[in-house]
Structure 1
């Protein structure tokens, strides 16, 4: 066969001509959002159906969004039950319009065969009508039909069908009228960008599994949800995740809690980031395709941490073989302005070298006095198909945030006489010289290579470096309700420059066993985090009138936030340490029977922390731990749409406390037992999860009264049984109707520490979140309307009243926030959108994670108008 670069046959294998050994498939690289397209050469048939005899496995190449076929004889169990056609479930971001459907008909013509395809949007009625009309066309009509541009597939279908029909008819000269039609089978395309549903994720186990067969709760904020709700930062997006609660400690530190424990594990494209290296409200969301949150213990992938959740940030990829560009601009409350550009382009004619560039800038004020923010994100990536089986990805990103007048700490919750304070929502404790700077840079390289039998080798290297400096005036103390006196001030300068290296490499190995397709993986991990900080305020000269009392502001009620900027002295090194983790992990998905799947895995880690001598570490020491973390899950299909599951997952967290013998306490160990139901309906366009769970943490460090650590005056510690959390979650996402997109979730839990007190008591125990969007184009062409509700119960926290000495409920009473949106599609390229957050302007407060007698106000009503323009 003589091939040209643009022929359907030569597009197989990214330009490699199909050899006789390939038997039948020609693969056409198509735009994202549609199922695979395959034309068939004359071939010997050994199966009852064309697909069963021809295509052994058909799948998307990860991120490249081109399809491949591996040829073999005999049916693959992953192919459909009736005619052996594969059902696309692989999860990658799609490009272009809404949910795509590709219908394939197999036409048997004695010893040569052809797949006939067409695509359309819309509901089932429209698809059925299209099928009936297409069936009545003869071969000439089919040619004419496929020459037209049909949605996203027009060009692809034209190339494929013209070449395929010419070969099918020209080789034998027999008309298509002699063909015998087999039943039409619908193949659902890849995840559409205009969806709230993610069909597949590797966030829980490292294996690319359907969410329905992942035995843990995985919540996903898709790109479309981020767009609809205009979540400009990662922190804002996480506030919308079902089951997560957030609190703001100050302007640049945000606590995220899942199932009673703080979320400390963050990953980027599956690669580990140290929690100290992540600031959710630093990262603009423009460079991310989606955000995945796996609830419960995730030690199989993360190793250390709490059994709370792991956040995986999935970056946009250079996966587009045609030029596209997208421009977003917005303006909103408190003089906020933002501009973002997303540009993707092939760098050669064949599309084997591709690029993507994301630029985002945002600036404005906050609802608190003095605050001014500037945020910048620059992200670029290049992807190259080095051969038919090898792909290399390289990328760089740089993010920065500068805050003037930053709010550090919180406002007093009580006056000194025990009466409640009632601050303006714009009130701040900041001095005019307060500022906070954060810079974060990341470089990455990824290499993927396809081996024989469908095996795939993947390696990824990520390097992240951060710079952070905070110049703050911290006010604290007991404030007199009448005089405004009593607050003391402490200036503080804090710096850190941590860096993180993460490398992993491994094999993904599909195989056949017990008559089913199975999957396994083994990976090696290496992570090194170098951290520490410098800080202090003792040498600062504030030129205050009474340095002995620390009263640098006088009457707080009349203070105008002027205070002489300190002259900083030499900063002491508070901490220096290096943490290293070396691990080997394995995971497997084993189908034991038609309805029964077993997810089995484990991770063996060697963890080491080298603590160097510093102000907060009087004596250098090294901690070492070796631990095996198991993972077990079972999924049982009750019906084609509903599955029951159960899982056991664990993780560990090394400690710095010592016992009376001078030995380090054993690591805190945590585990989550979870069971529930998962469903997927309407061709996976609607998903639901019901999860019940229990989480434990053991080896908590408690004071060992009367004993000290040998050689020190420090009180010794003892290990006690830890916290216990029990709860349940209910979540529904997707498109229950062609005009409705919905995301709804309810979560409820109880969390107790070893002494019976509430864990993270400042966080709500019951939370309901809902966002729904309605396509109103039938009433007003181009119009979409949306609304959201976030309801939080009263947190169980109690504080001691300084006036009475009695503990009393102090949490914000239950409240609800209402969000509204409207988008108007002015043209196919231009859209205008209005978002109103906290539309009813509800006043609510949050108590601090660290200073429990301090509070900060939640964000008032925020209005934002945005514009989106598409280029191609």
Structure 2
């Protein structure tokens, strides 16, 4: 490849370049800006490498060749002034039948990802996937300074935080396409099920390389799953090139944070590589007496024992010290109150009593072995454990003065353990005019969750003039104590068929066997149980045009087990989605646009029995909508992320009197736009970013309170100075008084400033 490139004619004309020594991705970006050379392909290949200084007159291709010298990255000329980056042969990425196994787990340069393992569990291009997929890249997380999972997904269409971000430090509660995806079903780590309770742990974005969202039913590959979709978080994994980073942050609410990230080979032959990532934070929050302290440590070790065999072991530890924000009444937030508006920083608990301390651990591995030119076996495993002390005080109704609320303490202790194992056999082969990526799998997961919850009494609180210090009296024994054990075993098969490099057919089916038992630890009685099985499937069709357009159609199913009462035998809820879409992703541009429309229905939802018996499964919830997402990395230094979602969700069948109601906190219209501009010439070290997030009006859970729409603006000012990067992020630039309401109301984050100093060498 190097000899071939050397023989190629260079584009006419030379440019006077002045490029300092810097990370390779930054150098290539600046080269494109200064020369007008269009550089496409998988730009994530550049991440983790350093570029030498380059000064003087150079033809564009000659300059690019000098920047890439000594790295496993080459390029292919596709036009008079355009090239595509390509990967050479390295131990970091083993190629199987022309596909790179690690592409779906690798870093992505910029905002545009072309590969995803989440949608198919294979390294199939997103363009060839007949279902909507979004990938939040490392660069987006850094530029927007995302500190929680909902902040990382804030510019992703169709995704909403359950509490407007108020409780991002205690849970990763999300709604996707109008459905709640909180809990043990929807979250995955490096492709393995992360079976955890809602309040067992939260994601740490600094430890993530990318966050992938597959919208709609996904039980074909993942078993029990919410109909709205699944979220797969890909952690930072070892690199072959040395990577060293130290980051210091400070900002609003006395925020102080120190983070570090180190990676590289351990041996001269590169067979062993490591990565260690850590973070410690001491911070307050917008709400009085609620801290946001965290300790996080993550490590990974990769062993390329042969060219065909790779094992990566990863683990992390995280401790959160914060408090749950219970919420505030409708009156005084979204509704008028004779006493005025409740302050955004109002704390409804008792200082020194309320706390939320969780310690969690994960340990897992990714194993792959290429049997021959056709078949590859993979095994992914993950173990998770967490202990949580959740000490909180709930808020009741107002007294006659419309300012004093009743309160009730409910401290609880949670213990969560789970493990999952996913075995895969993949074959990639040609058969006549078709190319098949055939996947067979068997996965198993167990989860054990135990809770002991206490009750007690505490004095009411005046929300307009609070006086703290009231004694909290707790029961000597738990008011409730139970333990739940879940098991699930699934078998799945999928075939991705490419016909004449034009048509793509995706077919898959899955059979699951699952059971659960919950026991009352106070009485020893079996509280609830289920033992059932289900079959789900998916079918899709894509047509690939030469110019980058790719229309698609798909049908997919999901299921979720139902926890009922003792003696009740419930079927799982069933999700069913029809989706049509149109993608535009030209091979020679860092550009991706997806327009999708869908009809998503969940059946077998529990509702009241008119005859007065236990609940029956006659309920139904439906969401119909459209989503548009555009991501672009333009050669003039401008990068864009744009999104829009129309979500028409409602309860279509119910005996509870709520038929026709909308889900709480789900806007019918939402939109976002983020623009990031890297200057050229004398200002080449400067970049500016700005974003806007619009959330349309919503209802609370009971559909009794209408919450007004709002728009929040964010901003970034960044500057590179050799190995240093300085950044200032502002969230909610105009200090918008945004509110989200579910069972109560939650204020959105007030205007916050964060200054970041990063040193990479």
TM-score interval w.r.t. the shorter chain?
Answer: 0.7 to 0.9
**Alignment partner, residue 52 of structure 1:** none
Give 1:283 deviation, angstroms: 2.4
**Alignment partner, residue 726 of structure 2:** 832
User: Cα gap change, 1:730/1:616 in structure 2, threshold over 3 Å: closer, same or farther?
Assistant: farther
Q: Is the 8 A contact 1:245 1:763 kept in 2?
A: yes
Q: Is the 8 A contact 2:73 2:86 kept in 1?
A: no
Map residues 697-736 of structure 1 onto 2, 5 A cutoff: 697-708=602-613, 716-720=614-618, 722-736=620-634
Give 1:193 deviation, angstroms: 4.6
Q: Is the 8 A contact 1:381 1:393 kept in 2?
A: yes
**Aligned partners of 1:203 and 1:610: how far apart in 2?**
30
**Alignment partner, residue 273 of structure 1:** 194
1:472 aligns with 2:392: yes
Map residues 114-513 of structure 1 onto 2, 5 A cutoff: 129-130=59-60, 150-154=66-70, 186-189=83-86, 193-248=108-163, 250=167, 252-253=170-171, 255-264=173-182, 265-276=186-197, 282-320=202-240, 322-403=241-322, 406-414=323-331, 419-420=336-337, 422-432=341-351, 433-481=353-401, 484-485=403-404, 487-513=405-431
**Aligned partners of 1:741 and 1:218: how far apart in 2?**
19
**Aligned partners of 2:502 and 2:523: how far apart in 1?**
56
**Aligned partners of 1:246 and 1:392: how far apart in 2?**
36
Q: Is the 8 A contact 1:188 1:683 kept in 2?
A: no
**Alignment partner, residue 858 of structure 1:** 748
Unpaired segments ≥5 residues, structure 1? 1-36, 41-86, 101-118, 135-144, 161-181, 545-551, 709-715, 801-806
User: Cα gap change, 1:634/1:272 in structure 2, threshold over 3 Å: closer, same or farther?
Assistant: same
Give 1:590 deviation, angstroms: 0.6
User: Cα gap change, 1:799/1:563 in structure 2, threshold over 3 Å: closer, same or farther?
Assistant: same
**Alignment partner, residue 513 of structure 2:** 606
**Aligned partners of 2:568 and 2:349: how far apart in 1?**
43
Give 1:385 deviation, angstroms: 1.3
Q: Is the 8 A contact 1:91 1:201 kept in 2?
A: no
Between the two proteins, the alignment pairs up a number of residues equal to 690
**Alignment partner, residue 693 of structure 2:** 790
Give 1:796 deviation, angstroms: 4.1
Map residues 741-760 of structure 1 onto 2, 5 A cutoff: 741-753=639-651, 754-755=653-654, 756-760=659-663
**Alignment partner, residue 667 of structure 2:** 764
User: Cα gap change, 1:267/1:469 in structure 2, threshold over 3 Å: closer, same or farther?
Assistant: same
3-state SS of paired residue (2:156)? coil
Map residues 74-113 of structure 1 onto 2, 5 A cutoff: 94-96=46-48
Give 1:640 deviation, angstroms: 3.0
User: Cα gap change, 1:858/1:640 in structure 2, threshold over 3 Å: closer, same or farther?
Assistant: same
Give 1:187 deviation, angstroms: 3.7
**Aligned partners of 1:462 and 1:378: how far apart in 2?**
17
**Aligned partners of 2:233 and 2:624: how far apart in 1?**
27
**Alignment partner, residue 173 of structure 1:** none
3-state SS of paired residue (2:141)? helix
Give 1:593 deviation, angstroms: 3.5
Higher strand share: 2
**Alignment partner, residue 101 of structure 2:** none
Moved more, 616-625 or 599-608: 616-625
Give 1:834 deviation, angstroms: 0.7
**Aligned partners of 2:328 and 2:162: how far apart in 1?**
14
1:818 aligns with 2:713: yes
**Alignment partner, residue 677 of structure 1:** 582
Give 1:185 deviation, angstroms: 9.7
Give 1:595 deviation, angstroms: 1.5
Give 1:704 deviation, angstroms: 1.3
Give 1:719 deviation, angstroms: 2.1
The C-alpha deviation readout for 1:457-483, integer Å capped at 9, x for no partner, is: 11111100011111122221224346x
Moved more, 372-381 or 585-594: 585-594
User: Cα gap change, 1:833/1:703 in structure 2, threshold over 3 Å: closer, same or farther?
Assistant: same
**Alignment partner, residue 636 of structure 1:** 543
Q: Is the 8 A contact 1:811 1:846 kept in 2?
A: no
3-state SS of paired residue (1:276)? coil
Moved more, 210-219 or 193-202: 193-202
Give 1:95 deviation, angstroms: 1.5
2:495 to 570, 574, 588: 588
Unpaired segments ≥5 residues, structure 2? 5-38, 88-105
**Aligned partners of 2:712 and 2:734: how far apart in 1?**
7
The C-alpha deviation readout for 1:777-804, integer Å capped at 9, x for no partner, is: 335231001100001111145868xxxx
Q: Is the 8 A contact 2:640 2:674 kept in 1?
A: yes
Give 1:92 deviation, angstroms: 6.0
- Please, what TM-score do these two structures have when normalized by structure 2? 0.85
User: Cα gap change, 1:183/1:780 in structure 2, threshold over 3 Å: closer, same or farther?
Assistant: closer
User: Cα gap change, 1:586/1:578 in structure 2, threshold over 3 Å: closer, same or farther?
Assistant: same
- Please, what TM-score do these two structures have when normalized by structure 1? 0.74
User: Cα gap change, 1:414/1:838 in structure 2, threshold over 3 Å: closer, same or farther?
Assistant: same
Map residues 637-656 of structure 1 onto 2, 5 A cutoff: 637-656=544-563
Q: Is the 8 A contact 2:495 2:506 kept in 1?
A: yes
**Alignment partner, residue 138 of structure 1:** none
Q: Is the 8 A contact 2:664 2:741 kept in 1?
A: no
3-state SS of paired residue (2:698)? coil
Moved more, 608-617 or 647-656: 608-617
Map residues 50-69 of structure 1 onto 2, 5 A cutoff: none
Q: Is the 8 A contact 1:608 1:624 kept in 2?
A: yes
Moved more, 682-691 or 789-798: 789-798
Q: Which has the larger radius of gyration?
A: 1
Q: Is the 8 A contact 2:153 2:159 kept in 1?
A: yes
**Alignment partner, residue 467 of structure 2:** 560
Give 1:304 deviation, angstroms: 1.2
Give 1:616 deviation, angstroms: 9.7
Q: CA RMSD in A?
A: 3.2
The C-alpha deviation readout for 1:710-766, integer Å capped at 9, x for no partner, is: xxxxxx222225111100001100213431110000000111112432332332121
2:572 to 631, 652, 667: 667
Q: Is the 8 A contact 1:380 1:396 kept in 2?
A: yes
Give 1:409 deviation, angstroms: 1.8
3-state SS of paired residue (2:708)? coil
Moved more, 742-751 or 695-704: 695-704
3-state SS of paired residue (1:410)? coil
1:691 aligns with 2:643: no
Q: Is the 8 A contact 2:508 2:538 kept in 1?
A: yes
**Alignment partner, residue 108 of structure 1:** none
Moved more, 782-791 or 812-821: 812-821
The C-alpha deviation readout for 1:338-386, integer Å capped at 9, x for no partner, is: 1110001211111111111001111211111111221111001111111
Q: Is the 8 A contact 2:529 2:563 kept in 1?
A: no
**Aligned partners of 1:571 and 1:496: how far apart in 2?**
13
3-state SS of paired residue (1:705)? coil
3-state SS of paired residue (2:142)? helix
Give 1:682 deviation, angstroms: 6.1
3-state SS of paired residue (1:150)? helix
3-state SS of paired residue (1:497)? strand
Q: Is the 8 A contact 2:356 2:389 kept in 1?
A: yes
**Aligned partners of 2:694 and 2:217: how far apart in 1?**
26
**Aligned partners of 2:731 and 2:518: how far apart in 1?**
45
